[in-house]
Structure 1
């Protein structure tokens, strides 16, 4: 039987949105599973699971509303680049880097620059090809400087950095139920070749997007 757990979201964490999605996903999955097997389950047990799961979701919503009312909730983090969290939480990404990324040693001005770079990438993420020359122009550096700066700060080429961010956004779309199919996810983050997208996704997350989507159904 599903037992509601106390909400343990760290609202000050840069991955609070991912935590929120996970906390909502678990009771939702319980409701979905019960719906699929409703004819074979004890009605009283179904009622208990539905009540427990619904209450868990309601508690999370009430917590969010309370924080919004008191202005203590902010789910946008502009002071820490996404690549830091991605690097820290993903061994496959760490292996892509040519050196050890130490976020605490990256100067604030450079962190802000990376945040700006990520904003530009996310703003054009549905484009199949991101022109590095244009990206450099928007970041007020030459293309050579872009390569050098990204390499010095995160030990990646700009193209690999962009790819990691694309796949990170794809994972967010899947985790939050925003898209219903692999092709939708792929197109949203700029991949027209769904097979190639799936291959890259599996390399970064050690699971295919199809398997990940299937695990939520």
Structure 2
């Protein structure tokens, strides 16, 4: 195994880190497996008490996480695009098709910050766009323009899609038992209005989805 960093062929630092981690992943996993399978009790005790990782799956999980962070967030990591790519109803809400190839890494990072702010305040009935724009270091006018340019939506519709996705996630996770509980959890205090919006986005009412869990 060659761990030399001298011949990088122009790779960026994140690419070098990813390559290095992938090179050590398999050998390290093999070593750990040998220790944990050893019949020598003293060796197994050392492995249990001294080793940070005890299984190759733990190594893979950590390596995948570090590599992901090293390579930076991609549009596929954003909640909105996960919903957009799998939901034709959401696609039809956008003024035009979203071209992800034209979204820069800087804009992806900005969208990620916006998603985090939305989810931090998801229980609020109304998210104040002025406060949101302030936290994202843009004017309210710039907020509208950036969201329109990046995802072809108004900020309020963009936020609504994120909130309803969270609501569906709460149902799928069996965390709540009633529509009103789910509605309040994502900042909608009118359950009828919430159910109507949910149906527009997912083609079924939250009550129907709750009932389907019981089957």
Describe the SS at the equivalent of 1:161. Answer: helix
The correspondence for 2:146, drawn from 112, 132, 149, is 149
The correspondence for 1:97, drawn from 94, 98, 105, is 94
Alignment map for 1:64-83 (pairs within 5 Å): 67-68=57-58, 70=60, 71-72=62-63, 74=65, 79=73, 80-83=77-80
| Residue in 1 that maps onto 2:156 | 159
Alignment map for 1:99-178 (pairs within 5 Å): 99-178=96-175
> Could you tell me whether the CA contact under 8 Å between 1:67 and 1:73 is conserved in 2?
no
CA shift, 1:105, in A, is 2.6
> Could you tell me whether the CA contact under 8 Å between 1:87 and 1:94 is conserved in 2?
yes
CA shift, 1:181, in A, is 1.1
Q: Distance in 1 between matches of 2:166 and 2:158?
A: 12
CA shift, 1:68, in A, is 3.4
Q: Distance in 2 between matches of 1:170 and 1:160?
A: 15
Q: Which deviates the most, 176-185 or 198-207?
A: 176-185
Which structure is richer in relative contact order (CA contacts within 8 A, separation 6 or more)? 1
What TM-score, normalized to structure 1?
0.66
RMSD: 2.0
Mark the runs of 5 or more structure 2 residues left unpaired by the alignment: 1-54
Moved over 4 A (4+): none
Q: Which structure: larger Rg?
A: 2
Distance 1:196 1:139, change over 3 A: same
Q: Distance in 2 between matches of 1:198 and 1:215?
A: 16
